[in-house]
Amino acid sequence: LSSSSSLSSLSSPSTHKYYQNAIRYYSFKGKLIMNIRCPLYLAVYLRLKNEQVTGSFKARGAFNKCLILKEASKGTKITALTSSTGNHGLACALAFSTLGIDGEIVIPVNCDQEKKQKIVSCGGHIHEYGTDAAETEGYSRQLAQERGFTFISPYNDYQIIAGQGTIGAEILKDLPDVDAVFASVGGGGLICGIAAYIKTKRPQCKVIGCSPVNSKVLHESVFAGHIVEEESLDTLSDGTAGGVEPGSVTLDLATELVDKWVLVSEEEIATAVFDVLKNHKKVIEGAAGVALAGARKIAQDLQGKKVAIVMCGASISLANLNNIMKTYM
């Protein structure tokens, strides 16, 4: 799948060849459980990407991209550089070390320290720059160009998006009559990948993007018709926080493919994280709580429907988890 791929290419069989290659190293398939204790008037299923290798869905896109680079290199040395607020960096660190790629990871200076340590422990070589995802990405892309490295965007890359889209394939395999899928939105790689596949196979299925009120750049950009610059406030959903780089392919994809957008408060996110811990004994990060909170917010519109909610990761700091438990227990 080339970087100039069309939308239809995101759901092509050739894309999934790389996913099949990736599972030679790790099993990426997440569990699908019914959220029987969720107070919604519909059949709700949680797709557990928090139990994936590296603790989030990001390994799919990272391995898809790196396997494509590996195949194209025909045995020559690969040097790559990526930018991340945490989960994508950890996924790339694992992909780099597994596939023998010389790579570096640029993170914001205010990146969660636990995520930073995980990247280092996975063999990642780290640089720190900027305080916002978009600022860090811009610097990283320039640095990669100066050094002659391949830049791997966390979301603005068709090959990354296609890797995340395999989640959509799994949802339809396990739940072929699904009526709606909820996913959290940061840069848009996750929801665009899922939507591209699902809309090809089951166009009547609604894809709903969920963002925190405190950091909603792609949400605002879709309604504005262009990438907006908007300050992101502190949010439990640090995995989706920050700006979106100008020219991101996810803007057009999200505009075309996402049926509805929902904004949720910090209290709604925290409640969702706590309820999954209490009712299912599963730890999820704030970004995963965003998707569940979004589903709860518009539950009345989906009565009698079958809904899948993507639990995108489990990278929540002990401090944040402790604060949530103190508040709601």
Extract the tokens encoding 65: 């991209």
Residue 181 lies in a domain: yes
Do β-strands 180-184 and 150-152 pair in parallel, antiparallel, or remain unpaired?
A: unpaired
Q: How far apart are CA 122 and CA 54, in angstroms?
A: 9
Residue 296 lies in a domain: yes
How confident is the model over 158-177, as pLDDT tens digits?
999 988 888 888 889 888 99
Residue 311 or 19, more confident: 311
CA 31 to chain centre: 17
What CATH number is associated with residue 90?
3.40.50.1100
Estimate the crossing angle of helix 217-224 against helix 249-257, to 10 degrees: 70
On the question of pLDDT at 19 being above 60, the answer is no
Q: Are residues 38 and 178 in the same domain?
A: yes
Q: Are residues 243 and 211 in the same domain?
A: yes
152, 168, 203 — which closes off a domain?
152
Q: Are residues 171 and 51 in the same domain?
A: yes
Q: Are residues 103 and 248 in the same domain?
A: no
pLDDT at res. 60: 87
CA 211 to chain centre: 12
Residue 1 lies in a domain: no
Q: Are residues 195 and 309 in the same domain?
A: yes
Q: Are residues 83 and 46 in the same domain?
A: no
Residue 323 lies in a domain: yes
Most confident residue range from 41-55, 130-144, 153-167, 252-266: 252-266
Helix (H, G, I), strand (E, B) or coil at 105: strand
How many CA atoms does the CB half-sphere of 307 hold within 13 Å?
27
Q: How far apart are CA 49 and CA 31, in angstroms?
A: 8
How confident is the model over 61-110, as pLDDT tens digits?
999 999 999 989 988 999 999 999 888 999 999 999 999 999 999 999 98
152, 173, 194 — which closes off a domain?
152
Side chain identity, residue 194: I
Among 25-29, 135-139, 164-168, 249-253, the minimum mean pLDDT is found in 25-29
As a residue count, the chain comes to: 329
Q: Containing domain of residue 66, as a range?
A: 59-152
Q: Are residues 73 and 111 in the same domain?
A: yes
Do β-strands 206-212 and 126-128 pair in parallel, antiparallel, or remain unpaired?
A: unpaired
How many CA atoms does the CB half-sphere of 266 hold within 13 Å?
12
Q: Are residues 224 and 323 in the same domain?
A: yes
Q: Are residues 198 and 88 in the same domain?
A: no
Extract the tokens encoding 108: 């914001």
Q: How far apart are CA 113 and CA 278, in angstroms?
A: 26
User: What's the maximum distance between 2 C-alpha atoms anywhere in the chain?
Assistant: 55
Q: Which residues pair with 89 in a beta bridge?
A: none
Number of domains in the chain: 2
Q: Are residues 298 and 168 in the same domain?
A: yes
Average pLDDT, the chain: 85
Q: Are residues 262 and 308 in the same domain?
A: yes
Extract the tokens encoding 180: 């709606």
Q: How far apart are CA 227 and CA 3, in angstroms?
A: 20
Side chain identity, residue 317: S
How confident is the model over 178-235, as pLDDT tens digits?
999 999 999 999 999 999 999 999 999 999 999 999 999 999 999 999 999 998 899 9
Q: Are residues 140 and 184 in the same domain?
A: no
DSSP alpha helices (H): ranges in 109-177?
Answer: 113-121, 133-147, 158-174
Residue 288 lies in a domain: yes
